[in-house]
């Protein structure tokens, strides 16, 4: 009888009889199939190898191989350790469940139906055990490998030296330790849950658990096994409750006084925190009850304990805090929440680097008794008004300095300083779309680089409205001296190039013909051996790399060629600013990249989404921030990086020597970041305060300029970033770089600054003017100043100022004239400058139309107080606004450097242009008379005459500039 109990019925057999002979493949066919199988395996192995090998070659070529190896071995280590742990945990419990199976199966329909499965599993039991364990191990290992940053920050964490106000723990516990503990806890939960599921399935399959069979539903062995696993689960839950206590310091929640509140509130400190502590004790007791089933062999007590734990979690963790919030906090919210709001304000201001921001009251309205002549003079000395808008003049650079169709400039140019002069600068980069004939050789061998820097004065334009170039031509000449002009790495250089081999490259073309060159730089990966060529042919899906005769000795492949892409690759722990910019430094063109260290675990500091807070009217895919994590509550501009435009060399410099996050990453990747002392004086002159950091800070300061908890809670002082008044998209106004003096500034010299305006929430008048010193060569670098305007005497904000411009009849009429026909008016950056208690607004107005494909500066709008002017030049507009002339009025016809693509004679002095403009004015007058008289025939004729006159003026002016455009 006992022997029969162990026998499994033979469910898989059938009637015996002669078997059919199936034809076997021939020896040759078997050999062929085996060969194909081996080749397929080798091909798959090489595909995986190619990705690894090309990555290694690239990191080695840029001298950052330690980043690759550290990251790789960290991922491999985490994958192996946690994969084995998960596989071991699940496999052990499957084996244990099988070992604890009952010796006899119950005689029931349920067990009889399971016989077939037991019989099917029996021959493959070991393989199934290994297969299931390996599968869960692979999944867990891959998940753990993705936590390589969390692990490196945990083992290399550096103390902040600042403690949170609730638990008195160093901030590093929350930023470096707590995320790792949470990962371990999550891994533990996953391992226990998968073990419970696997063990339960095996126990059921072998009769340890029964659903419909008579008698006990579980054997004593199955009960003990599963209860231990459930006890481990409840133990982990107790640990989770304990960590949740600290998690309250970095927890985000909706709160009336702030859109994204972080940290403990009154209800957290006085209800949730005690509740979590009580739940820790309850969960620990419940776990002991589960473990006790090893001796009692009954589920009664642990089930009761688990039910009490769930009920306690609902009552203590949910209902009790709701009661406290309803009956204690809401009736006296300001008094209850004020201490916690104060902690949040302090932590947020510290975490975003705005704790030192000064707020100064500012009248915003000019003194009516002020001397007009003095004001006129101060308008010249307070700020260098930048008339050249880098967001508009790119087409002018393109038209006047492109020279060849295969060159191009970015849509938004950069603002820098050269010899104390605000300068608009751009690189003449390669534009593959302009290549005369696109093919593989031209795209990747012949046309490989751009050529030269083009720069123009930011505060001046030529009389015709064109930029005054200080560096121009091909090859470029001007104020920047001698430097390596070839641009192999740039914002627009997204394709790979193969250089240095037998195929010559086009260098540049001038009047004497095309010049050729061969790349001599150190960058790039050698294609000198067949393994590398095969790997890159596979990586780039380009078979010709493997066999092309254009590749030979010395050939190297250049890729990852945009500055942001290169910095992000060598420092994957950095967040990259959206606006990179070029500078000529020590005979080389260097891309300067601002980079940030961030974290999402700073206690009490409110969070922000980088993608939202850094977006403005100029943001596009090219200028968007490259964020490692979008939601953060701590940010520092801790690294300044450079990328050489010729050889692609990447250098990282430690900018914030006090930042503990950067110190942590420098421990993890030693030798990758150079010290701040290694920044050369020439490079230091071109560094600046980064735009994206400034935009994040201004977003935070719309609420956190308030330091009084009562005022913060009331929400009466909330500001907003205004929309850009020159666009119709409703996007935020971008900040502007400007050399200026702030009110009360002791230094008589203008400081290179980054500025913006702020408005009341929901209104268009001005709340504050915000500026930060952007010049790192000064002691005041990084100092944020807020000029707070009064609420009782509202001052017009950017939108209202723009509306005032557009509503003045005389200005509207001139704008109408400028935009007649096929001409188009484009408004430049609306610059705001504090001047003697008032606000000076300046906006350049460009016109694009006729035969011209690029905008020309034609007018300047200026307003101060209740005075507004719309004149041909800034000097004239300022004279009109202040009713006085400057004692140091610059010449009306600035000297234009040779070869800059402009002509000296102003178009307004040409008799043809003068006559055409006179006819245009007559046509406008005739049109007005006809409209008033209702004579629409005469009105139509006047409109035709106006368009004809404007076309004559534009054509005549264009002819004056033809030699310039062709230079």
Residue range 291-315, pLDDT digits in tens:
888 777 677 777 888 888 888 888 8
Nearest Cα neighbor of 564 from 614, 624, 521 is: 624
3-state secondary structure of 608: strand
Q: How confident is the model at residue 19 (pLDDT cuts 50, 70, 90)?
A: very low
Answer yes or no: are the C-beta atoms of 647 and 523 closer than 8 Å: yes
Report the pLDDT averaged over residues 346-370.
90
> Rounded CA gap, 77 and 60, in Å?
22
> Rounded CA gap, 436 and 406, in Å?
8
Q: How confident is the model at residue 589 (pLDDT cuts 50, 70, 90)?
A: very high
Q: Would you say residue 729 has pLDDT above 50?
A: yes
Q: Please tell me which residue, 72 or 940, carries the higher pLDDT value.
A: 72
Bridge partners (DSSP) of residue 384 are: 739
Per-residue pLDDT tens over the stretch 441-462: 999 999 999 999 999 998 888 8
Q: pTM of the entire structure?
A: 0.84
| Sequence-distant contacts of 113-121: CB under 8 A, at least 24 apart | 114/204, 114/205, 114/207, 115/8, 115/9, 115/11, 116/11, 116/12, 117/205, 118/8, 118/205, 118/206, 119/8, 119/9, 119/10, 119/11, 119/12, 120/12, 121/205
Q: Would you say residue 764 has pLDDT above 80?
A: yes
Q: Would you say residue 213 has pLDDT above 80?
A: no
Q: Which of 140-149, 275-284, 626-635, 716-725 has the lowest mean pLDDT?
A: 626-635
Q: What is the pLDDT of residue 104?
A: 61
Which distant-in-sequence residues (6+ apart) come within 8 Å of 123 by Cβ? none
Report the pLDDT averaged over residues 408-417.
89
Per-residue pLDDT tens over the stretch 339-349: 999 999 999 99
Nearest Cα neighbor of 577 from 663, 692, 419, 739 is: 692
Q: Would you say residue 567 has pLDDT above 50?
A: yes
Provide the 10 A C-beta neighbour count for residue 153: 25
Q: Would you say residue 15 has pLDDT above 50?
A: no
Q: What is the pLDDT of residue 946?
A: 63
> Rounded CA gap, 653 and 642, in Å?
8
Q: How confident is the model at residue 374 (pLDDT cuts 50, 70, 90)?
A: confident
| Sequence-distant contacts of 154-158: CB under 8 A, at least 24 apart | 154/179, 154/180, 155/668, 156/664, 156/665, 156/667, 156/668, 157/660, 157/664, 158/660, 158/663, 158/664, 158/667
Q: Which of 34-38, 494-498, 832-836, 924-928 has the lowest mean pLDDT?
A: 924-928
**Token pair for residue 903?**
């002509």
Which distant-in-sequence residues (6+ apart) come within 8 Å of 99 by Cβ? none
Per-residue pLDDT tens over the stretch 744-760: 887 778 889 999 999 99
Q: Would you say residue 628 has pLDDT above 80?
A: no
Which distant-in-sequence residues (6+ apart) come within 8 Å of 42 by Cβ? none
Per-residue pLDDT tens over the stretch 317-335: 788 888 888 888 888 888 8
- Tell me the C-alpha to C-alpha distance, in Å, between residue 409 and each of 363, 393, 436, 715, 789: 42, 10, 18, 45, 40
Report the pLDDT averaged over residues 75-99.
94
Q: What is the pLDDT of residue 850?
A: 64
Which distant-in-sequence residues (6+ apart) come within 8 Å of 613 by Cβ? 695, 696, 699, 700
> Rounded CA gap, 525 and 560, in Å?
11
% of the chain at pLDDT higher than 90: 46
DSSP tag of 173? I
% of the chain at pLDDT higher than 70: 86
Please list, residue by residue across 221-260, b when 16 or more beta carbons sit within 10 angstroms of its beta carbon and e when fewer do. bbbbbbbbbbbbbbbbbbbbbbebbbbbbbbeeebebbee
> Rounded CA gap, 577 and 637, in Å?
9
DSSP 258-324: EEEEES--HHIIIIIHHHHHHHHHHHHHHHHHHHHHHHH--SHHHHHHHHHHHHHHHIIIIIHHHHH
Mean pLDDT of the chain: 84
Q: What is the pLDDT of residue 586?
A: 92
- Tell me the C-alpha to C-alpha distance, in Å, between residue 873 and each of 329, 465, 920: 61, 10, 21
Q: What is the pLDDT of residue 854?
A: 82
Q: What is the pLDDT of residue 386?
A: 87
Q: How confident is the model at residue 112 (pLDDT cuts 50, 70, 90)?
A: low
Per-residue pLDDT tens over the stretch 880-933: 988 877 655 444 334 344 334 333 334 445 667 667 767 766 776 675 565 555
**Token pair for residue 156?**
């290399």
Q: How confident is the model at residue 761 (pLDDT cuts 50, 70, 90)?
A: confident
3-state helix, strand, coil in the chain (%, to 5): 45, 20, 35
Report the pLDDT averaged over residues 551-565.
93
- Tell me the C-alpha to C-alpha distance, in Å, between residue 512 and each of 237, 508, 833: 79, 11, 49
Q: Would you say residue 83 has pLDDT above 50?
A: yes
Which distant-in-sequence residues (6+ apart) come within 8 Å of 517 by Cβ? 486, 504, 505, 506, 507
Q: Which of 17-26, 390-399, 816-825 has the lowest mean pLDDT?
A: 17-26
């Amino acid at each position: 009888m006992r022997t029969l109990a162990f026998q499994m019925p033979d469910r898989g057999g059938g009637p015996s009889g002669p078997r059919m002979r199936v034809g076997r493949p021939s020896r040759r066919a078997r050999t062929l199939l085996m060969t194909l199988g081996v080749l397929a395996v080798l091909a798959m192995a090489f595909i995986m190898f190619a990705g690894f090998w090309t990555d290694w070659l690239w990191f080695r070529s840029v001298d950052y191989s330690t980043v690759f190896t550290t990251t790789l071995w960290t991922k491999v280590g985490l994958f192996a350790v946690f994969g084995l742990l998960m596989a071991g945990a699940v496999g052990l419990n499957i084996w244990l469940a099988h070992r604890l199976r009952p010796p006899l199966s119950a005689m029931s329909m349920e067990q009889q139906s399971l016989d077939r499965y037991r019989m099917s599993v029996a021959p493959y039991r070991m393989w199934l055990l290994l297969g299931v364990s390996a599968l869960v191990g692979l999944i867990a290992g891959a998940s753990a490998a993705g936590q390589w940053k969390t692990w490196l920050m945990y083992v290399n964490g550096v103390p902040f030296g600042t403690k949170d106000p609730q638990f008195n723990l160093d901030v590093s516990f929350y930023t470096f330790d707590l995320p790792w503990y949470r990962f371990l806890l999550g891994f533990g939960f996953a391992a226990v849950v998968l073990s419970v599921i696997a063990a339960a399935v095996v126990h059921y399959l072998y009769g340890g658990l029964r659903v419909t069979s008579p008698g006990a539903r579980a054997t004593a062995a199955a009960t003990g096994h599963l209860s231990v696993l459930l006890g481990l689960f409840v133990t982990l839950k107790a640990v989770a409750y304990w960590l949740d206590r600290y998690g309250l310091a970095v927890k985000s929640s909706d709160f009336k006084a702030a859109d994204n509140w972080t940290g403990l509130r009154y209800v957290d400190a006085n209800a949730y925190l005690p509740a979590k502590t009580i739940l820790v004790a309850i969960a620990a007791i419940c776990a002991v009850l589960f473990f006790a089933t090893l001796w009692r062999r009954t589920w009664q007590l642990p089930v009761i304990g688990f039910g009490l734990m769930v009920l306690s979690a609902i009552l203590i963790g949910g209902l009790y805090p709701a009661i406290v919030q309803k009956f204690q906090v809401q009736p006296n919210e300001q008094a209850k929440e004020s201490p916690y709001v104060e902690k949040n304000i302090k932590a947020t201001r510290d975490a975003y680097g705005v704790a030192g921001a000064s707020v100064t009251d500012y009248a915003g309205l000019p003194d009516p008794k002020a001397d007009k002549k003095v004001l006129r003079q101060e308008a010249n000395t307070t700020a260098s008004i930048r008339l050249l808008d880098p967001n508009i003049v790119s087409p002018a650079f393109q038209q006047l300095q492109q020279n060849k169709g295969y060159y191009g400039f970015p849509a938004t140019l950069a603002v820098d300083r050269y010899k104390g002069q605000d300068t608009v600068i751009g690189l003449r980069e390669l534009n593959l779309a302009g290549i005369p004939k696109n093919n593989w050789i031209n795209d990747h061998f012949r046309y490989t680089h751009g050529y030269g820097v083009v720069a123009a004065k930011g505060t001046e334009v030529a009389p015709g409205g064109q930029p005054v170039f200080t560096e121009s031509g091909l090859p470029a000449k001007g104020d920047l001296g001698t430097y390596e002009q070839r641009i192999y790495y740039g914002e627009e250089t997204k394709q790979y190039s193969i250089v240095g081999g037998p195929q010559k490259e086009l260098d540049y073309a001038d009047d004497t013909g095309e010049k050729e060159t061969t790349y001599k730089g150190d960058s790039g990966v050698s294609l000198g051996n067949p393994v590398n060529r095969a790997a890159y042919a596979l990586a780039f899906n380009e078979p010709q790399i493997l066999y092309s005769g254009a590749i030979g000795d010395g050939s190297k492949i250049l890729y990852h060629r945009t500055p942001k892409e290169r910095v992000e690759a060598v420092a994957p722990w950095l967040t990259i600013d959206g606006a990179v910019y070029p500078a000529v430094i020590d005979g080389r063109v260097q891309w300067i990249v601002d980079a940030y260290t961030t974290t999402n675990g700073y206690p009490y500091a409110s969070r922000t989404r980088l993608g939202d807070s850094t977006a403005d009217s100029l943001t596009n895919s090219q200028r968007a921030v490259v964020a490692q994590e979008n939601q953060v509550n701590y940010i520092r501009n801790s690294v300044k990086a450079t990328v050489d435009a010729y050889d692609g060399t990447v250098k990282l410099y430690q900018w914030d020597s006090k930042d503990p996050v950067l110190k942590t990453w420098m421990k993890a990747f030693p030798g990758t970041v150079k010290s701040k002392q290694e920044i050369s004086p020439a490079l230091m002159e071109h560094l600046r305060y980064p735009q994206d950091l400034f935009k994040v800070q201004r977003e935070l300061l719309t609420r956190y300029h308030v330091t009084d908890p009562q005022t913060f809670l009331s929400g009466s002082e909330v500001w907003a970033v205004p929309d850009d008044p020159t666009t119709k998209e409703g996007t935020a106004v971008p900040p502007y770089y400007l050399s200026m003096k702030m009110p009360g500034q002791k230094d008589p010299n203008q400081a290179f600054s980054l500025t913006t305006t702020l408005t009341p929430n929901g209104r268009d008048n001005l709340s504050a003017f915000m500026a930060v010193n952007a010049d790192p060569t000064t002691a005041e670098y990084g100092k944020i100043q807020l000029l707070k305007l009064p609420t009782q005497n509202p001052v017009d904000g950017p939108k209202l100022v723009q509306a005032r411009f557009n509503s003045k009849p005389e200005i509207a009429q001139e704008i109408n004239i400028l935009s007649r026909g096929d001409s188009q008016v484009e408004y430049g950056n609306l610059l705001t400058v504090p001047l003697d208690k008032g606000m000076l607004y300046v906006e350049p107005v460009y016109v694009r139309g006729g035969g011209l494909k690029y905008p020309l500066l034609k007018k300047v709008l200026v307003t101060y107080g209740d005075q507004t002017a719309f004149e041909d030049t800034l000097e004239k507009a300022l004279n009109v606004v202040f009713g006085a002339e400057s004692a140091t009025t610059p010449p009306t016809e600035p000297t234009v450097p040779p070869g800059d693509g402009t002509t000296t004679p102003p178009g307004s002095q040409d008799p043809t242009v003068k006559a055409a403009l006179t006819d245009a004015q007559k046509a406008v007058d005739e049109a007005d008379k006809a409209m008033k008289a209702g004579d629409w025939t005469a009105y139509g004729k006047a409109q035709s005459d106006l368009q004809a006159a404007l076309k004559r003026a534009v054509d005549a002016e264009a002819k004056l500039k033809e030699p310039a455009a062709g230079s």
